[in-house]
Structure 1
Amino acid sequence: MRSHLLNDTTAEQYRRTATAAVERVAAQLASTTRPFTGISPQELSPALAAVDLDRPLGSSGAALDELETLYLRDAVYFHHPRYLAHLNCPVVIPAVTAEAVLSAVNSSLDTWDQSAGGTLIEQRLVDWTAGRIGYGPAADGVFTSGGSQSNLQALLLAREEAKAQDPSVLRVFTSECSHFSVQKSAKLLGLPPEAVVPIPCDREKRMRTVVLARELERCRAEGAVPMAVVATAGTTDFGSIDPLPEIAALCAQYGTWLHVDAAYGCGLLVSRRRARLDGIEHADSVTVDYHKSFFQPVSSSALVVRDGATLRHATYHADYLNPRSAAEARIPNQVDKSLQTTRRFDALKLWMTLRVMGADGVGQLFDEVVDLAEEGWKLLVADPRFDVAVEPQLSTLVFRFVPSDITGPALIDRANQYARKALFASGEAVVAGTTVNGRAYLKFTLLNPETTVDDIAAVLELLADHAGQYLGETLVHAS
């Protein structure tokens, strides 16, 4: 069994095996004609259940053959131009190259004696991101598993900075369109259910600052503590960006921690549309998900803070890992800043991307999908069969098929839901769904620069056909 360990004596075996795996995936990518095969859980589950994990196949070739049937053949492929569903991006080759390097070396980014240069690369990328945000030299941060973890850590720092003896008096204000991780984080931090105060949004799905001001004042009048405001720069459903300058001013007035969840909108940091993030430099903390709008493989995310000293709230010392003597000797590490201990060298993916493509190259890709969303919005607005929820600020389109001869909103809801499911089952395209004012809507999340306006038009026709078929059959049966 030692022959399977990666070391100096098995390096050639590693090269052959990894090459075979890359060739297998490359062949699959080259032959993929649609984003999904349409297979159902009921169809695929028996094949997985039949695998005896206690009886190995004995060779990587055989395991790859099996994997092709169990996974590769039916995977959902985000690189396909008609995958339009969630915040999943196609990935750039320099980042995938880095994945091969970091997986093989297997550095752990908690301490210097487990990562050496990896520590410095991550720190350098945090500094680079902080500079793009507009922070000064006191800024710091750490890579995380994703936006949910970044938001959790940001609210942990906000809770500790609030210095409240009684957690029941703490309040977190966020828009009704913000990510569910805000509520989940509050629960994990021991805050009461009423701690998260949802602020209604305007027609563009942005936080209404007039209401925020009123709620902050009421909070103070009731003797509660406004622990944090979570503004969103790119909501999951609509891609909307809260009015950051106005929110920052209110947070300064009330002495409240401002966290900006820019998990989606962080691509604007390298975009020609950077002005849409104006005000983010006033935030106390920012979430960035490079695996959304920087075209990185999952996972690649970070929490960046304006004052690195606040990261001390996540610091714990262990004699076997990061003793105080190491800190006194100024040996750098990232575990003092992180909620995680063992952690992958995910920063290498972004490093390789920037060193090969440059920030402008990444920004150009993100600008292309934002441009595409604007063209898609014009297409939808001009088509009387569709109702569009909001003009996009990033690359999300939310719309609803509404035929002129059908008046029942519940029936139209079911038609839209059916169209999405039928399209998914066909494998021809993948789209998402959501609700707007209690009604069922469809959603395109455009993160593939290879997607064209023609792709959007074709998928809209497919959705209209499926919805129309459902309505026709339903009305026939009703009569």
Structure 2
Amino acid sequence: MNEASQVCGKAAFEEGRGRAVEWAFLDGTDRSRALFEQALTSALSQIRTGWSRATAPTSGAAFEDLRATFAALEILPEKGLGLDFVSQEAGERIGAHAVSVWHPNYAGHLHPPPMLPSLVAEIFIAATNQSLDSFDQAPAATTIERLLIEWLGTLAGFGASADGVFTTGSTEANMMGLLLARERAATTLAGWSIAADGLPPEAARWRILCSEFAHFSVRKGAHVLGLGDRAVVPVAAPDGSLSGPALAAAIERLLQDGDRPIALALTAGTTDLGSIDRIGECATVARDHGLWVHVDAAVGGALLLSSHARLLDGVHLADSIAFDFHKLLFQAVGCGAFVARDGRALSALSRDIPYLDRIDDAFDPGPNLVGKSLLTSRRFEALKLWMSLRALGRQGVAEIVDATLSNARRAAEAIARSPALELLAEPVTNIVIFRWRSPTADPAEVDRINRMLPSSLWRKQTAVIGRTTYRAAPALKLTMLHPNASLEAIDGLVSAIETGGRELLDAHD
């Protein structure tokens, strides 16, 4: 790029108030490219400034405070403020209240610091703006996604007949698994076309089984698919993992009651415990009864690339699997995939789309992926995974996943040593569940402090930790997603939780 174009771009960026058509687009000209480079430079500068100011995992601000701050800014001013101004404003005002996902005391959710290859990929994704509904909108992106889906099918042990699509995450992918289960039940049990006629009368007795610790998206999916929350039958899992005998007994009870189980939703990495259902034995029971077997591997899917792959033994018996790469594979949100063992099942999602279909063309350049997805327009999320896998290699990915699980065990050990904390379950993946306790406080007070502690730590900008309910009592949880966290940092987080609980107790006395 010549010097004149660079100067022109810089001037346009700093002014950014001329005719919008002259500066607002990356249009292939030297001037627009220079402007884009200046915009990236400014954004990086704002991010660096934010990093230097962010010494806590959160600003501690509440919604009403932030609403008052941002409501004072006119959303659509009559005349634009310029790209330089709004970029600085985003860094100073919005960035100041972004949670610091990289902070070792940010341990509340399955929401990791994204790895660098993923961030670089995001720039490519946004700048090229490919849309994966049709091949002619995203030729390279379509090809990369297809190759990754084939690779994921092999990773899961599904074989050459597998097919799938990238998703926004496992909520979408879990719904796809249940949708295909519903479609198969309609066809095989009722000789019915849901696409043409909606749900058959028999659907009122269809049931979906899952562990009591399954993700809420299973219930949401059943609701959206017209089966209703009552169609979901949670099965007790005393140790956190659904077992074959418990599943078989639950299926028998449903059959005796006149209900028809159609699907089993297994979990490889529950949100509250990080536990993994006994996939092999449960899948065998389910297949014996003709159930569709779906595995929600949002958390545990990454273990297939680590030394812990044995925890997913039997996953090859599933009919479908959901992956979330923006969890233990540290991708920027949202990046997931759905893979079916028999790709023909995805035909349930296909529709005739005249403005996209090219069946009458003499030359068909490539496949349209819209017929495999719940969505139409889709971003090139697959690039993030592609670049990350190639940049790190199998050894690098395994190192990161193994280190993350190791840190969860270290946190559990620190909690077990603490007289103020009670470890409720040994960690299987990267989630540690526990309670604050006190020998001098009554049970109601202990429950109150466990409910209040996450919010108190948030307001004080000390830590972001999770809260849930376990065995009918309020509980706390750490979601460890910092593979490079030191033992001192982990001990510091546990110490901060101890102190926070003690302060709440003292304030109430």
Counterpart residue identity of residue 222, structure 2: A
Residue 181 of structure 1 corresponds to: 217
SS at match of 1:390: coil
* 1:422 is aligned to 2:456: yes
CA distance in 1, matches of 2:265, 2:217: 11
Q: 5, 14, 24: which one pairs with 2:46?
A: 24
When structure 1 is superposed on structure 2, of 135-144 and 314-323 the one drifting more is 314-323
Aligned 8 A contact 2:219 2:228 in 1: no
Residue 12 of structure 2 corresponds to: none
Aligned 8 A contact 1:423 1:429 in 2: yes
CA displacement at 1:66 relative to structure 2: 1.6
CA displacement at 1:363 relative to structure 2: 2.1
Residue 405 of structure 1 corresponds to: 440
Tell me how large the CA RMSD over aligned residues is: 1.7
Query: Deviations 1:197-223 (Å, cap 9, x if unpaired)?
Result: 1101122x1114322101212333444
CA distance in 2, matches of 1:78, 1:186: 32
Residue 60 of structure 2 corresponds to: 38
Q: Which runs of 5+ in 2 are unaligned?
A: 1-19, 191-199
Counterpart residue identity of residue 189, structure 1: L
Q: 269, 280, 283: which one pairs with 2:318?
A: 283
Counterpart residue identity of residue 59, structure 1: G
SS at match of 1:229: strand
Residue 231 of structure 2 corresponds to: 195
Q: 286, 290, 295: which one pairs with 1:260?
A: 295
Q: How does 1:37-436 map to 2 (within 5 A)?
A: 37-55=59-77, 56-163=79-186, 164=190, 165=200, 166-203=202-239, 205-325=240-360, 329=364, 331-406=366-441, 408-436=442-470
CA distance in 2, matches of 1:457, 1:367: 19
Query: Structure 1 residues 138, 20: CA separation in 2 closer, same or farther (over 3 Å shift)?
Result: same
CA distance in 2, matches of 1:168, 1:48: 47
CA distance in 1, matches of 2:221, 2:362: 29
When structure 1 is superposed on structure 2, of 396-405 and 340-349 the one drifting more is 396-405
CA distance in 1, matches of 2:249, 2:364: 49
CA displacement at 1:334 relative to structure 2: 1.1
CA displacement at 1:132 relative to structure 2: 1.3
CA displacement at 1:470 relative to structure 2: 2.0
CA distance in 1, matches of 2:410, 2:25: 52
Aligned 8 A contact 2:205 2:259 in 1: yes
Aligned 8 A contact 1:373 1:395 in 2: yes
Counterpart residue identity of residue 313, structure 1: A
Query: Deviations 1:151-176 (Å, cap 9, x if unpaired)?
Result: 00110001001124421121100111
CA displacement at 1:327 relative to structure 2: 12
Residue 8 of structure 1 corresponds to: 28
Aligned 8 A contact 2:107 2:478 in 1: yes
CA displacement at 1:74 relative to structure 2: 1.5
Residue 440 of structure 1 corresponds to: 474
When structure 1 is superposed on structure 2, of 337-346 and 192-201 the one drifting more is 192-201
CA displacement at 1:194 relative to structure 2: 2.2
Counterpart residue identity of residue 130, structure 1: G
- What TM-score, normalized by structure 2, do the two folds share? 0.90
Aligned length: 473
CA displacement at 1:453 relative to structure 2: 2.6
Aligned 8 A contact 1:44 1:70 in 2: no
CA displacement at 1:127 relative to structure 2: 1.1
When structure 1 is superposed on structure 2, of 35-44 and 7-16 the one drifting more is 35-44
Q: Which runs of 5+ in 1 are unaligned?
A: none
Aligned 8 A contact 2:335 2:382 in 1: yes
Counterpart residue identity of residue 41, structure 2: T
Query: Structure 1 residues 317, 359: CA separation in 2 closer, same or farther (over 3 Å shift)?
Result: farther
CA distance in 2, matches of 1:325, 1:144: 29
When structure 1 is superposed on structure 2, of 361-370 and 62-71 the one drifting more is 62-71
CA displacement at 1:323 relative to structure 2: 5.0
When structure 1 is superposed on structure 2, of 210-219 and 369-378 the one drifting more is 210-219
CA distance in 1, matches of 2:139, 2:355: 17
Q: 442, 455, 459: which one pairs with 2:489?
A: 455
CA distance in 1, matches of 2:463, 2:485: 12
